[in-house]
A and B are shown apart, each in its own frame.
Chain A
């Protein structure tokens, strides 16, 4: 099974609280206004941290989705 996951932000709901960045700096940085920039897909070893970042978002504005298969 392809287990690569991808973080997707629900942009209209994101309010730049920055918790996702604090919990997953390996894959999230912040722009100058504090909004997340996703820097890559989530491999297995980061999955638990990514799930934590998703749960921690006070606006429920970030989700883990299946990464589309590379073509």
Chain B
């Protein structure tokens, strides 16, 4: 696949972005407002019901990973009284995800147009834009784009998230915006009812706002030109392969997985949805297309579009153990079950990879950790481990018998219990 390196960083691997059919069309036009206004006229007024209808007609769902219907959220915020807040989340806590960075680097004004539409609809006087701490270039591009919009009928305010896994989570973002530590806290009510400063808050992901702008400007007919009849439009996906540089591609719903990963790679296990996602065994995606509905039927989720095929010769047990150790380190150390449970889980999964059958301990922990934290960090970590146990049961047995079918160099030490 061809692409352009839109961001090369001395510290990180940068990111490759390919031109896309929808959000990422004409990215060679650059990021300036003048060019952008050539395709997207400025919007001064829109009602919440009009905008919700537009979002609904293209079946717009949140692109942060959870996939909540956007129109429902918008209406919930609009129906509440008093001052309301709008938050754009451009910070991707998940280190394997680069799609919001890629979108911000190529289409900053599309994100901002969507956020402006939302603010006009819910009559919010300002828009909070939360930028990623780990991508200086993304911050620079977004700040520059915001500086070009002095005539917008809202006040733009930016904040930079800390670069850690749980910092991008909704409640953590709201904490940051109130000047507190950028870490999750318990939400007693959804942020649409009581969010920033206790006000009804529309908090969505950058890609969601960009799609909202597209829905408003091009309507149902325009949206229907890409994707599936029931799932119009596209999804931004971060693909990581053998190369160290991740690639962001815009994939219309309905695209065969073969076209994205190639036949050979599809025969390998794929970690779908990133570190909080799930292992899909080799071959399962063959013959299928990118679709939320189809993914659900197959028993997994597209999440925020992170696609990590297992490298040639890598062991899924060792890979999972490495990720779970990382996730345990990323705990904010605030909630007991996460603070103590994730290191215990990491230890148990690492032991599996070393050739000790600790399945019982793993299942005990995965059974008791979910739902016991201010954020879904333990739940996401458990999801990954559960998918390992479900799909690689034979591999666990093989390791306990002293061999690994994926990696010749990996020799587990069989330990009889």
Q: Considering only CB atoms, which chain B residue lies closest to A13 in the complex? A: B186
Q: Does B154 contact A (CB under 8 A)?
A: no
Task: Assess the B340–A63 pair: CB atoms within 8 A.
Answer: no
Number of B residues with CB within 8 Å of any CB on chain A? 15
Interface 9-mer from B271-279, B299-307, B367-375 = B367-375
Q: Does A22 contact B (CB under 8 A)?
A: no
Task: Assess the A11–B368 pair: CB atoms within 8 A.
Answer: no
Against A, the Cβ 8 Å flags (1 = close, 0 = not) of B157-193 are 0000000000000000000000000001110100000
Against A, the Cβ 8 Å flags (1 = close, 0 = not) of B335-372 are 11110110000000000000000000000000010001
Contacts of A63 in B (CB 8 A): 188
Contacts of B37 in A (CB 8 A): none
> Complex Cα distance A11/B373, Å?
5
Q: List residues 1-20 of chain A with CB under 8 A from any CB of chain B.
A: 8-16
> Complex Cα distance A15/B368, Å?
18
> Complex Cα distance A35/B382, Å?
18
> Complex Cα distance A11/B337, Å?
8
Number of A residues with CB within 8 Å of any CB on chain B? 16
Task: Assess the B337–A35 pair: CB atoms within 8 A.
Answer: yes
Q: Does B334 contact A (CB under 8 A)?
A: yes
Against A, the Cβ 8 Å flags (1 = close, 0 = not) of B50-84 are 00000000000000000000000000000000000
> Complex Cα distance A27/B334, Å?
24
> Complex Cα distance A27/B335, Å?
20
Task: Assess the A12–B337 pair: CB atoms within 8 A.
Answer: no
Q: Nearest Cβ distance between residue A38 and chain B, in whole angstroms?
A: 8
Q: Nearest Cβ distance between residue A17 and chain B, in whole angstroms?
A: 11
Partner of B186, one of A11, A15, A31, A35: A11
Interface centre among B334, B337, B338 (most CB of A within 10 A): B337
Contacts of B334 in A (CB 8 A): 11-12
**A16 and B188 in contact, given A9-B372, A37-B368 (Cβ under 8 angstroms):** no
**A11 and B372 in contact, given A33-B336, A35-B337 (Cβ under 8 angstroms):** yes
Contacts of A46 in B (CB 8 A): none
Task: Assess the B188–A65 pair: CB atoms within 8 A.
Answer: yes
Task: Assess the B188–A31 pair: CB atoms within 8 A.
Answer: no
Task: Assess the A12–B340 pair: CB atoms within 8 A.
Answer: no
Task: Assess the A33–B185 pair: CB atoms within 8 A.
Answer: no
Task: Assess the B340–A33 pair: CB atoms within 8 A.
Answer: yes
Q: Considering only CB atoms, which chain A residue lies closest to B372 in the complex? A: A11
Against B, the Cβ 8 Å flags (1 = close, 0 = not) of A24-36 are 0000000101110
Q: Nearest Cβ distance between residue B22 and chain A, in whole angstroms?
A: 34
Task: Assess the A12–B186 pair: CB atoms within 8 A.
Answer: yes
Partner of B374, one of A11, A16, A31: A11
> Complex Cα distance A35/B338, Å?
11
- Residues of chain A touching chain B, judged by Cβ–Cβ distance below 8 Å, are 8-16, 31, 33-35, 37, 63, 65
For the complex of A and B, the 3 pairs showing the least CB-CB separation, nearest first, are A11-B335, A12-B334, A35-B336
**Contacts A10-B186, A12-B186, A35-B336 supplied; 19 other A-B pairs, CB < 8 Å:** A11-B335, A11-B338, A11-B372, A11-B373, A11-B374, A12-B184, A12-B185, A12-B334, A13-B186, A15-B336, A31-B337, A31-B368, A33-B336, A33-B337, A34-B336, A35-B337, A35-B340, A63-B188, A65-B188
27 A-B interface contacts by CB (under 8 A): A8-B186, A9-B372, A10-B374, A11-B186, A11-B334, A11-B336, A11-B337, A11-B338, A11-B374, A12-B184, A12-B334, A12-B335, A13-B186, A14-B335, A14-B336, A15-B336, A16-B336, A31-B368, A33-B336, A33-B340, A33-B341, A35-B336, A35-B337, A35-B340, A35-B372, A63-B188, A65-B188
